[in-house]
Amino acid sequence: MNVKIFAMTTLIHRIFPLLICLAAPMASAVDPDPFKTEAMAPLRPSPQLSARVGEAPCATNLPATPLTAIDAVDLTLCNNPQTREIWAAARAQAALVGVAQSAWLPSLDGRVSAARNFADNGNFNQSAATLTLSWLMFDFGQRSANGENARQLLNAAAASQNATVQVLFLSALQSFYTAQATRAAVISASEAERSANEGFLAADSRYKVGVATPADRLQAQTALSQATLNRIKAEGEARNSLGALANVLGFDAQSTILLAANPGLPTEAAFQRDVDALIDEARQRRPDLKAAEAQVKAAEAGIELARAQGRPTVSVSTGPSWQTVGGVASNSGSIGIALNVPIFSGFETTYRVRSAAAQAEVRAAQRDRIRLQIALDVWKAYQNLTTATQSLKATADLLASAEQSERVALGRYKAGVGTVLDLLTAQSALASARLQRIQAGLDWYVFRATLAQSMGALDYTLLQPVAERRP
């Protein structure tokens, strides 16, 4: 029995080394990326985006120095899971381009089999091995359409990555500026508490010498308690904003973040451009519109692919074969050409074409919707930036007059010629003016970044000092 088993597998033992010899050089010598799909994929978001070159690799930890706006963007683009997700999706689509291109090359298959046959006239072993080289020569457009579809989907994936980067860029700036604004609000609330305390001490002193009523002292005490409460709330909001910033950066909310000093507000923040020109420029640059355009082209290629799948194909094949039956060995080979003509497939091709055409209409409608949305995004961002620019000067004047009014009211009250109501009103107006000034500065920086993002032009050049570039 051992002799029979040996005889049955002898041919297999001879053919396996041949198959291994054919496969080993291909596995070791062939380029692992012969179609260079990695070069087709977009670069991974990193600190070297846009105007920044020669920078260090992505940081994985919060810096020991105070966090700047550039640091916030770098950390977000490096660590936020969305950037890894969209980059991996783009690389996956690039690999599918390689899959589409591989259809143009021949394929080599090997097959080895062994069997023990039982019959009335005796038992015998049967072994066989074949090598087959096959090549699809003509498919009347199917591979071309499939390749165009894959390339356009890769373009869409790359543009989608750029759009995601823009969104994360803006989100990082919004969170960073909000954290700075809430920190400034804490300082403002502390100043308001200090002023309220000074007012209370003045009322208390006047009450003790008998020149103020108990009502004055109680009103001043109430104003101080309210200022203390406002300061406590401001501190809570500042802690929440730091947690939100850490989350955007890709860290746990309880991470300790030390913020850099607030950016100086621009002294001349004039901004005036033709909004029609801005919208036209945005439609040329917006990555989400580019992605939608690529999706339309991919869908159009899908129509041609559906048509081509119902057309004939021509293939050639060749290869040797070896067989041993009952101890008798034979060798042979073959070469042939095959024409496959689909005659009737139950109207499958018809409905595939209809489905692809409808999908192309869907993509075209989505593209047109994005075009309209771009105009609205630019219009709103432009108006918001214009309003914020005008608010900067208005809040500067408001703060200056409120500070002067508070000083006068406090001096008059201490001198005994003003009322405590006048003092409390002036202090409340000053606290409100400070908060409005902080909000105006935050709005200006955020709306400037929002306008850049709505135009598809948000990059590191926006983070240069205001004095070095016009908004």
Q: Write the pLDDT tens digit of every residue in 5-21.
A: 344 444 444 444 544 44
How do strand 122-138 and strand 107-119 relate by DSSP bridges? antiparallel
Nearest CA-CA partner of 289 in 145, 166, 173, 168: 166
Does some domain include residue 111?
no
pLDDT for 262 = 81
Kindly state the helix (H) or strand (E) to which residue 209 belongs, with its residue range. none
Sign of CA dihedral 444, 450, 453, 455: negative
CA distance 42 to 156: 11
CB 128 within 8 A of CB 323: yes
> Domain containing 62: what range?
50-106+143-310+347-468
pLDDT digits (tens, 9 = 90+) for 334-367: 899 999 999 988 999 999 999 999 999 999 999 9
Band (pLDDT 50/70/90 cuts) for residue 117 is confident
In a domain, 190, yes or no: yes
Residue-wise pLDDT tens digits, 175-185: 999 999 999 99
DSSP 327: T
Q: Look at residue 132 and tell me if it is in a domain.
A: no
Say which CATH number the domain at 57 has.
Answer: 1.20.1600.10
Residue 267 lies inside a defined structural domain of this protein: yes
Domain total in the chain: 1
Strand-pairing partners, residue 222, are none
What pLDDT, on the 0 to 100 scale, is given for residue 363?
A: 95
Residue 121 lies in a domain: no
Identify the pLDDT of residue 3: 40
For 220-273, how does the pLDDT look when each residue is reduced to its tens digit (9 = 90+)? 999 999 999 999 999 999 999 999 999 999 899 999 999 998 877 665 555 556
pTM of the model: 0.77
Residue-wise pLDDT for 277-301, tens only, equals 889 999 999 999 999 999 999 999 9
Beta bridge partners of 317: 134, 336
Q: Is 320 part of a structural domain of the chain? A: no
Average pLDDT in the chain? 85
Residue 146 has pLDDT above 90, yes or no: yes
pLDDT value for 191:
93
Query: Please, are residues 333 and 321 in contact by the beta-carbon 8 Å criterion?
Result: yes
Residues 42-90: pLDDT tens digits? 877 654 454 343 445 677 788 888 999 888 988 888 888 888 888 899 9
Q: For residue range 171-223, what is the model confidence (pLDDT) as tens digits? A: 999 999 999 999 999 999 999 999 999 999 999 998 888 888 889 899 999 99
What pLDDT does 12 receive? 43
Residue 268, pLDDT score: 55
Cα(471)–Cα(460) distance, rounded to whole angstroms? 13
Q: Which residue has the tokens 């060995």?
A: 329
> Within a domain: residue 357?
yes
The 10 Å CB-count burial string (b at 16+, else e) for 341-380 is eeeeeeeebeebbeebeebbeebbebbeebbeebbebbee
Domain-embedded: residue 123: no
> 109 in the Ramachandran plot: left (φ > 0), alpha (ψ -120 to 50) or beta?
beta
Edge to edge, the sheet with strand 122-138 lists: 107-119, 122-138, 313-325, 328-340
Residue that wins the pLDDT comparison between 382 and 28: 382
Beta-carbon contacts of residue 36 (< 8 Å; ≥ 6 apart): none
Q: Angle at CA 425, nearest 5°, toward 421 and 428? A: 140
- Torsion from C-alpha of 72, 73, 78, 80, nearest 10 degrees: 80
